[in-house]
Amino acid sequence: MSQTATPSPAGTTPPPALDDLLARIRATFDVDFEPLVIDDLSFDVLSIRNMQSYLDGMLARKAIRNPLKDLPLWAKVWPASFVLGRYLRHFEPQGKRLLELGAGCGTLSLVAAHYGFARIVCTDIVPDALLFTEANVLRNGLENIISVAHLDVTRPGKDPRFAEGFDLVAASEILYLDELHRPLLKFLGRHLAPGGKALFATDLARAKPHFAKLAAKSFRVDERRIGLTSHDEDGKEQRRAYSLLVVERA
């Protein structure tokens, strides 16, 4: 599919050269790129090889007070990203603007870049996650489509970097923090373009019905269930169900 070069949004800087970026990452993590195949798409994704020793170090420093917030969940490639990535094709992405929230290592944006979006902004609040995402974008030659930016959706007011808003906002596995729900919906109210939609994919075992009820007070909400067959580390087939919420301006 053809790819159109787009400028980086205001407030973001061009990513450093990949070798320099990897040197910064390897000061903390033992990493290497691993192939990832999704349908007919193939990517290289940066993976941590010393995860257990990194976690042991966190325990030794007593750095894990809240596992949901402190553990490096951003480093995992979540299957919900594949579910949502595939589903984006149903929203006529050609020429549209996409914002990914809580991107982790940016898998969803890597997939979406091949569907014809004019601009993708891939965001997270964790500095290490942004470094990994930048490395993945550079490694896969997608820096002319995907911009990487720090973003905290709990900050009040409209972000001047995104004044024109987004046609689609997408996120996988970010609804596990209940305190994020209200700020997230306010953020959508400020940053969805007219007619815009936000899509959230969550493993059904971690689904948050409260978020859908809260969103329905200000948005049109449609919930769908999607199944995904995958394989665990031992090669055993697993069948999981996912909740996919579509939140649209009323």
Helix (H, G, I), strand (E, B), or coil: what is residue 75? helix
Here the CATH number for the domain that contains residue 192 is 3.40.50.150
pLDDT for res 68 = 66
In a domain, 93, yes or no: yes
Percent of the chain residues topping a pLDDT of 70: 90
Tokens of 8: 């980086």
pLDDT for res 11 = 43
Does 9 have pLDDT greater than 50?
no
pLDDT for res 55 = 80
Pairing relation of β-strands 146-150 and 237-249? Answer: unpaired
Separation between Cα atoms, residue 28 and residue 177, nearest integer Å: 27
In a domain, 89, yes or no: yes
Does 101 have pLDDT greater than 90?
yes
In a domain, 1, yes or no: no
In a domain, 4, yes or no: no
In a domain, 58, yes or no: yes
Domain count for the chain: 1
pLDDT for res 234 = 65
E strands in 79-191 = 97-100, 119-124, 146-150, 166-172
pLDDT for res 236 = 72
CB 129 within 8 A of CB 174: no
E strands in the chain = 31-38, 41-48, 97-100, 119-124, 146-150, 166-172, 192-203, 219-231, 237-249
- DSSP class of residue 205 equals G
Does 225 have pLDDT greater than 70?
yes
Give the mean pLDDT of the chain: 87
Separation between Cα atoms, residue 76 and residue 127, nearest integer Å: 15
Does 16 have pLDDT greater than 80?
no
In a domain, 10, yes or no: no
| pLDDT one-digit tens code per residue, 48-89 | 987 788 787 878 888 878 776 777 778 888 889 988 988 999
Does 7 have pLDDT greater than 50?
no
Does 189 have pLDDT greater than 60?
yes
Domain extent, residue 33, equals 18-249
Does 172 have pLDDT greater than 80?
yes
- DSSP class of residue 233 equals T
| pLDDT one-digit tens code per residue, 110-161 | 999 999 999 999 999 999 999 999 999 999 999 999 999 999 999 999 999 9
pLDDT for res 1 = 35
Answer with the residue of higher pLDDT: 146 or 231: 146
In a domain, 208, yes or no: yes
pLDDT for res 244 = 93
What helix, strand, coil percent values describe the chain, rounded to 5? 35, 30, 35
In a domain, 240, yes or no: yes
